[in-house]
Amino acid sequence: MGRLQGKVALVTGGSKGIGKAIVERFAQEGAKVVFTAIEKEAGDVLEKELIPNRLVFMQQDVSKKDDWERIIKATINKFGKINIIVNNAGIGVFSDIEKMDEKNWNSTIGVNLTGTMWGVKYGIKSMKNNHEKNSIINLCSVEGLIGDPDLLAYNASKGGVRLLTKSAALHCAREGYAIRINSVHPGYVNTPLVENLEKTDPKVKDHLVSLHPMGRLAEPSEVANMALFLASDESSFSTGSEFLVDGGYTAQ
């Protein structure tokens, strides 16, 4: 316990699934956390369940530059600084190249890639002069490493996040900033998204499980544990790197 004592974290998409698990894990390890989501009701409910005065919910559309400026300012006003940003918010809609439409493409790229870019940009701005050890963690996916014919926009967005991470990490190293930037690449995880897919087609979960040599899906807490390692000073010599939590998916 206490691996994040004295640190302030900002976690996007923090009201459910992987984001919620990260918020809870960071809080257990002593961090003060601002978590955001586009859905206000889910965030308000979670805020009441968690530790008062150390966990604060704020509504945010990560694809909007103005929202990022507002959230960064509000977080610093509340807790005095930011040491950790987890760009977790993301969306995914199934579509192949021939069925791709403008709405699917623009919304997926807007949230997953553009939203992450703003988070990294404003994260660096907020951290570079605080003279502490800081970490930006971009939640990517195995889909940022391999292709899927039915996840065109998602593949493109997550592949972009992977290389955005490396570019920004090299920039911070060159400038001498005490900011590390890494990406986390989960396989399929037991989240509300998978539960909803299973309601549509009961065979979906079995198929997803079969993709992982370990014979199961990841739990959100397992992804949160990787995020915790990268947020903590234990990962002090890791930057521009990709960390897999995929049960052997990409080892095949």
Catalytic residue positions, numbered: 154
CA angle, corner 235, sides to 230 and 237, nearest 5? Answer: 130
| In the block, residue with structure tokens 């992987």 | 18
Contacts of 102 (CB under 8 A, 6+ apart): none
Q: How far is CA 142 from CA 6, 13, 58, 222, 228, in A?
A: 32, 19, 29, 15, 19
Q: How does residue 195 score in pLDDT terms, banded at 50, 70 and 90?
A: confident
Average pLDDT of the residues in 162-186: 98
CB atoms within 10 A of CB 139: 27
pLDDT at 50 over 70: no
Question: For residues 117 and 221, what is the distance between their CA atoms, to the nearest angstrom?
Answer: 25
In the 3-class helix/strand/coil scheme, how is 2-48 assigned residue by residue? CCCCCCEEEECCCCCHHHHHHHHHHHHCCCEEEEEECCHHHHHHHHH
Question: Identity (one letter) of the amino acid at 102?
Answer: E
The rounded distance, in Å, linking the Cα atoms of 28 and 8 is 13
pLDDT band, very low/low/confident/very high, at 156 (cuts 50, 70, 90): very high
CA distance 12 to 184: 14
Q: pLDDT digits over 112-138, tens only?
A: 999 999 999 999 999 999 989 999 999
pTM: 0.95
Residue 159 CA to residue 128 CA, distance in Å, equals 26
Which CATH superfamily is 8-189+220-245 part of?
Answer: NAD(P)-binding Rossmann-like Domain (3.40.50.720)
- Whole-angstrom Cα distance, residue 152 to residue 158? 10
**152 — pLDDT class (breaks 50, 70, 90):** very high
